[in-house]
């Protein structure tokens, strides 16, 4: 499996480590490619769109021509996991002209709705498809305030969706890559393969 981590900005190394661990849990060989230029996405089986700063990430994706390649990846039905700023970039609407959203996911988001850096928190979260709560880390997290009919809500927090899926796209307001628990990466990447259905592994 070739996993591409969008690496124009954000917590790239954490996603690279998480996808390696998630693949290892399924005995799948995984080569990670960090993507900073066009021409690489097409070789990837799965993509990770990290947290960071959505205005910067979306601008650099457009500047480099990576944005259309990510759309083509999703149109081909290949998995992508987008977290926090990645969710904002993947959304249909971020209600902020500075974010050129990719429109991979029929949701609208409110940037920074959970507050500032100092309001960061971790909470155990029930996620559809996982049998035990997931330790969800929220840092300047976006709030999903509207979801389209084709979007499945996988988890919510205080009444708002915080993890969603639409076809090959899984996205979260929180940062699964910042915990040792790789189950959301597994859920996103191995979702169609019953032989490698998400399972909990000791880290
Ligand atoms: N608030 C950031 C943004 O709007 C996202 C924060 C994060 O990814 N931790 O881009």
- Per residue in 148-200, pLDDT (tens digit) is 999 999 999 999 999 999 999 999 999 999 999 999 999 999 866 544 455 65
Tell me the C-alpha distance between 30 and 72, whole Å. Answer: 22
In this prediction, residues 81-108 reach a mean pLDDT of 97
Q: CATH classification of 2-196 is 3.20.20.10, yes or no?
A: no
Please state the φ and ψ torsions of residue 83, each to the nearest 5 degrees: -125, 135
**Exposed/middle/buried for residue 171 (C-beta within 10 Å: 0-12, 13-18, 19+):** buried
In this prediction, residues 121-150 reach a mean pLDDT of 95
Catalytic residue among 14, 26, 30, 177: 177
Percent of the chain with pLDDT over 70: 94
Can you give the pLDDT at residue 28? 93
Please state the φ and ψ torsions of residue 170, each to the nearest 5 degrees: -115, 135
Can you give the pLDDT at residue 7? 98
**Unique residue bearing structure tokens 């996405």:** 41
Decide whether any atom of ligand 1 lies within 6 Å of the 86 Cβ. Answer: no
Alpha carbon nearest to ligand 1 atom 5, residue: 85
Helix (DSSP H) and strand (DSSP E) numbers for the chain: 5, 12
Asked whether the CA dihedral 61, 182, 84, 169 is positive or negative, the reply is: positive
Can you give the pLDDT at residue 41? 98
The helix/strand/coil state of 79 is coil
Which atom of ligand 1 is least distant from the CA of 86? 8
Domains in the chain: boundaries: 2-196
**What tokens were used for 60?**
């650099």
Please state the φ and ψ torsions of residue 106, each to the nearest 5 degrees: -85, 65
The Å distance, Cα 121 to ligand 1 centre, comes to 14
Which residue numbers belong to the known binding site? Answer: 52-54, 111, 139-140
Decide whether any atom of ligand 1 lies within 6 Å of the 161 Cβ. Answer: no
The neighbouring-strand residues paired with 138 are: 121
Please state the φ and ψ torsions of residue 137, each to the nearest 5 degrees: -100, 120
């Amino acid at each position: 499996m070739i996993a591409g981590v969008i690496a124009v900005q954000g917590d790239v190394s954490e996603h690279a480590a998480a996808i390696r661990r998630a693949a290892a849990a399924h005995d799948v060989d995984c080569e990670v490619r960090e993507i900073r230029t066009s021409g690489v996405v097409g070789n990837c089986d799965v993509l990770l769109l990290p947290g960071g700063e959505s205005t910067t990430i979306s601008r650099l994706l457009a500047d480099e021509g990576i944005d259309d390649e990510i759309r083509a990846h999703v149109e081909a039905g290949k998995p992508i996991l987008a977290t926090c700023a990645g969710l904002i970039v993947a959304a249909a609407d971020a209600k902020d002209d500075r974010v050129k959203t990719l429109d991979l996911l029929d949701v609208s988001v409110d940037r920074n709705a959970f507050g500032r850096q100092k309001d960061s928190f971790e909470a155990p979260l029930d996620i559809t498809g996982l049998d035990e709560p997931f330790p969800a880390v929220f840092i300047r997290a976006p709030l999903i305030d509207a979801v389209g009919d084709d979007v499945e809500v996988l988890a919510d927090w205080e009444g708002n969706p915080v993890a969603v899926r639409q076809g090959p796209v899984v996205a979260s307001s929180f940062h699964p890559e910042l915990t040792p628990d790789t189950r959301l990466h597994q859920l996103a990447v191995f979702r169609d393969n019953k032989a490698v259905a998400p399972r909990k592994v000791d880290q």
